[in-house]
Chain A
């Protein structure tokens, strides 16, 4: 079955960077985009960006451009989300989700979420 398993919780100081991993199994990793979505406590879902694991192409909304980098290692079917210049407002649960294929576009499978806490 399709699984996305994320790395564990992180505590970071303001100004630092965090890198969260998302290991995929149960499907062909390069056939589906990977999306990253975050959720602050008690708030809604916020889309952060996408990556095509086959080409490595990425896209980020303007809010995260310059601060967010999504990468992958296809040899171990793992995607990474790195957010820099962290501030307290970045405290949230971060999710990876399997995204678009060549024929469909919805987030059918999600990781379990990774809590990132930014605190001095």
Chain B
């Protein structure tokens, strides 16, 4: 099984900050990496697919990069609505998928 490890597990930041979340796969997954945002009591929302493609309707302050085993999600200038939990997910072994453990982004 492919394991996905996110860092950090939690992060405190302020509005306007630039934030980077890292996701590492236990083996190469090429670019088959997706990012989701989840707010309390809501279903996850797709932000980024195949490592760097921005989902329609997602603000351009979100970006993704990486390939192989190391990936990043960057928020260029945090907005109040961005405080949430973020998950990476591999689809290299699709239809079997794996999520990272999540990164909780909190207001400083």
Binding site for B on A (CB under 8 A): 33, 35, 37, 44-47, 50, 52, 59, 61, 95, 97, 99-100, 104-108, 110-113
**Count, A-B residue pairs, CB within 8 A:** 66
Contact B99 A108 (CB under 8 A): no
Which of A59, A108, A110, A111 lies in contact with B95, CB distance below 8 A? A59
Q: A44-B87, A61-B1, A110-B43 are in contact. Are A105 and B95 (CB under 8 A)?
A: yes
The residues of A that contact B102 with a CB separation of less than 8 Å are 44-45
Q: A44-B101, A105-B32 are in contact. Are A52 and B44 (CB under 8 A)?
A: no
State which residues 42-61 of B face A: CB under 8 Å: 43-46, 49-50, 55
5 A/B residue pairs, CB under 8 Å, sorted by A: A59-B95, A99-B97, A104-B49, A107-B34, A107-B89
Contact A113 B43 (CB under 8 A): yes
CB distance from B93 to the nearest CB of A (A): 10
The residues of B that contact A46 with a CB separation of less than 8 Å are 99
The residues of A that contact B96 with a CB separation of less than 8 Å are 47, 50, 59, 61
Max chain B CB contacts within 10 Å: which of A47, A106, A107, A108? A106
What count of chain B residues pass the 8 Å CB interface test?
A: 24
Q: Give Cα A77 to B46, complex, Å.
A: 23
The residues of B that contact A47 with a CB separation of less than 8 Å are 96-99
Residue of A nearest to B38 (CB): A45
A-B CB proximity, top 4 nearest: A110-B43, A105-B91, A105-B94, A50-B95
Contact B94 A100 (CB under 8 A): yes
Which of B1, B44, B55 lies in contact with A45, CB distance below 8 A? B44
The residues of B that contact A61 with a CB separation of less than 8 Å are 1, 96
Q: Give Cα A46 to B100, complex, Å.
A: 9
Q: Give Cα A109 to B18, complex, Å.
A: 28
The residues of B that contact A112 with a CB separation of less than 8 Å are 43
The residues of B that contact A35 with a CB separation of less than 8 Å are 95, 97
Contact A45 B99 (CB under 8 A): yes
Q: Give Cα A50 to B97, complex, Å.
A: 9
Max chain A CB contacts within 10 Å: which of B34, B46, B97? B97
CB distance from A28 to the nearest CB of B (A): 17
